[in-house]
Structure 1
Amino acid sequence: MLRNGSRRLRAITGLAVAALLAGSALTGCAKDPTAGGSGGKNSQQLTVGLTYIPNIQFAPFYVAEEKGYYQQAGLKVDLRHHSASEDLFGALNSGREDVVYAGGDEMMQAQAQSKPIVDVATLYQKYPVALLVPTDSAIHSANDLRGHVLGTPGPYGETYFGLLALLRSANLSTKDVKVKYIGFTQQAALAGKKVDGVMGFVNNDAVQFDQAHIPVRAVTATDGGQQPPLVGSGLGATRTTLQNRGAQIKKFLAATMRGVQETIDNPQEAVQLSEKYVPDLQDPEQQAAALSVLKATIPLVRTGSGKLGYNDPATWARMAEFMKQQGLLSHPVSTDQAFSDSYLP
């Protein structure tokens, strides 16, 4: 377990496959985690923080690199995987990174802590977290949660935020259920009947349950069909970087969105292009697992507007209010300062 629990969660969110989290060293052209940051104000080099371990989660970036999209944009992009004990925003705030992959909710928390980080692209248009319960469970909606034992890794990160949103959608709180902190042992906890349901990612944990032949279904918020008041994974940069290197950030986002679209259109090829970066991905079984996760992710990435990376102002406003009410922000955050769509292609 890392010092910062949300950092550990970030490493397995989204497109991650737990079976790929091997201890092997990263191969290919990703930057050494201990290396320095980017060049000066006019440099075309950008360092991008992708958390501490390479995995299929980051396929769009690997695709953009392998397809030459960054090079075509005139950029030299270093994909920097963080060390295991590294703070999520540490390298960004110190100038060693120019862009970081993080949750919109995590970036809002950073804003509340006076860290001037702006979300410039939301990659997950649908929040990927849900409560996973056995298919024969008596829990069919958030209204059925009262008195049940619910497992979540800890009081941090997307799974915890998602739990709070799920409870609130039924006018419940953590006082109405028993919350059990189980670390990252969702399968063992649910299969062993230590909990009645576990918070997990529908495009990762749910896929792993299926591959383990443990039938589960997802229970999501019931607030009028709306998505949870939370913003998922995206890309953030400091205000200083945006002021000094806005042109490069625009080029980077345009090239990255090409990688995202390619991953949506050709997930099988995305897995193949990621082999260079992800340990053990040459194994056919791991390739199949990775492909399953990518296919489960595509519905989360697609947007109603059709614009990849779009930050929805209404969702950000709902999240600011929700996180304030839940005591997740040390200070109020203005959404005008929290995100910007100005750098999207």
Structure 2
Amino acid sequence: MKKSRLIAGIAALMLALTGCQSGSNQEGEAAPDKVTIGLTYIPDVQFAPIYVAEANGYFDDAGLDVTIRHHGAQESLFGALSSGEEDIVFAGAAEMVQARSQGIDVVNWATLYQTYPVVLITSADSGIETPADLAGKSVGLPGPFGENYYALLAMQDAYDLHDSMTVAYIGYTQTSALATGEVDAIIGFSNNDVVAIENAGLEPVVIPMVEDGLPLIGVGFGSLEGSLDADVQARFLHAVELAVADAAADTEGTMDIVTEHVPSLADETQRELATQVLIKTLELYQGSEVFGQQDNQTWNDMVQFLYDSGITETFVGADEAYTSEIVDLVLDMRAQ
């Protein structure tokens, strides 16, 4: 795990997170640290914790001046991070490893989704009860990229399905493809695709992709290795942790905040659906006693899987790809 450039921030972190820094510019107080967070999609309810941290003043309280930057539809995941336009990126762990194998020195420093969000979704009459039942059947997903695709490859490995099932790349039409019988099952996200399918009047059957768990890690925060700043990033992580707790405790208030970023949610029907997505998304943060926890075994399993699957052309070790130092510093702060 990456430890260089981080230890020097411990003393500053202890001061910052115990109230010795603030976001104001009053005489004798430090100016806030400027941070740009890259959210790798258009404004969406799934980014609610970031919006809540801003609206409820947790970034300000942490002495941070945060700019929220959403990526355009055609924008690369790590282009703005590489150019210095962003300081932190919210992205999939596997995608960070893939980028690192291509020469971008991104390091993951917190895992947000403690449960990997990709699942196999089918209908009750499909005859599919486990992934092994996909032999001779078809499964649809957007394309040969991203978290859906990585989960597909892991499932095929686990159940020896590479030559016995049909894979259809159907774009973002999973709901209609399943409803019309174009495919027997889809690979989608537990927090939004399941909601969309239920809203279409179907009764989805949700099946884990691999019984013992996928060798994959969910989305998290990453920064360039050369720009790691323990003080700033630990304060940022703690602010988001507080926001996740707020969002879970007050979903209606959270939806009010999200609607400021996603005006279409002023429509009652759209808001109801988005609220369901919010609740399911917040569930993904659960599963660990430590917010942002990094699982060393799963990291090692993932980097090996990505290399063996050809997703990374050069091997990236887990000790290069992630660090637990930021999460550990927040824990140290709490112990003071």
Q: Classify the TM-score, shorter chain.
A: 0.7 to 0.9
Q: Residue 10 of structure 1 aligns with which residue?
A: none
Q: Residue 254 of structure 1 aligns with which residue?
A: 238
Cα distance in 2 for residues equivalent to 1:73 and 1:264: 21
| Partner of residue 231 from structure 1, selected from 211, 214, 217 | 217
Distance apart, 1:171 and its partner CA? 2.7
Q: Residue 307 of structure 1 aligns with which residue?
A: 290
Matching residue's letter, 1:262: D
Note if contact 2:107-2:321 (Cα within 8 Å) is conserved in structure 1: yes
Note if contact 2:151-2:214 (Cα within 8 Å) is conserved in structure 1: yes
Cα distance in 1 for residues equivalent to 2:98 and 2:130: 28
Distance apart, 1:246 and its partner CA? 2.8
Unaligned runs of 5+ in 2: 1-30, 331-336
TM-score by length of 2: 0.86
In the comparison of the two structures, how many residue pairs are matched?
Answer: 298
Note if contact 1:111-1:338 (Cα within 8 Å) is conserved in structure 2: yes
Matching residue's letter, 2:171: G
TM-score by length of 1: 0.83
Note if contact 1:73-1:251 (Cα within 8 Å) is conserved in structure 2: yes
Matching residue's letter, 2:257: L
- Higher Cα radius of gyration: 2
Note if contact 1:128-1:203 (Cα within 8 Å) is conserved in structure 2: yes
Q: Residue 281 of structure 2 aligns with which residue?
A: 297
Matching residue's letter, 2:279: K
Distance apart, 1:264 and its partner CA? 2.5
Cα distance in 1 for residues equivalent to 2:215 and 2:187: 16
| Partner of residue 180 from structure 2, selected from 189, 192, 204 | 192
CA offsets 1:255-306 (integer angstroms, 9 cap, x no match)? 11111222233222211221111121222212211111122223321023x1
| Partner of residue 177 from structure 1, selected from 165, 186, 195 | 165
Cα distance in 2 for residues equivalent to 1:253 and 1:196: 40
Q: Residue 287 of structure 1 aligns with which residue?
A: 271
CA offsets 1:149-201 (integer angstroms, 9 cap, x no match)? 1111000001111111222221322x221111100000111111111111110
Cα distance in 2 for residues equivalent to 1:296 and 1:46: 28
Q: CA RMSD in A?
A: 1.4
CA offsets 1:67-106 (integer angstroms, 9 cap, x no match)? 0000011110000011222111000011010000100010
- SS of alignment partner, residue 260 of structure 2: coil
Q: Residue 215 of structure 1 aligns with which residue?
A: 203
- 4+ aligned runs moved over 4 Å, structure 1: none
Unaligned runs of 5+ in 1: 1-41
Cα distance in 2 for residues equivalent to 1:109 and 1:191: 34
What is the percentage of aligned positions where both structures have the same residue?
40
- SS of alignment partner, residue 280 of structure 1: helix
Note if contact 1:47-1:98 (Cα within 8 Å) is conserved in structure 2: yes
Matching residue's letter, 2:263: P
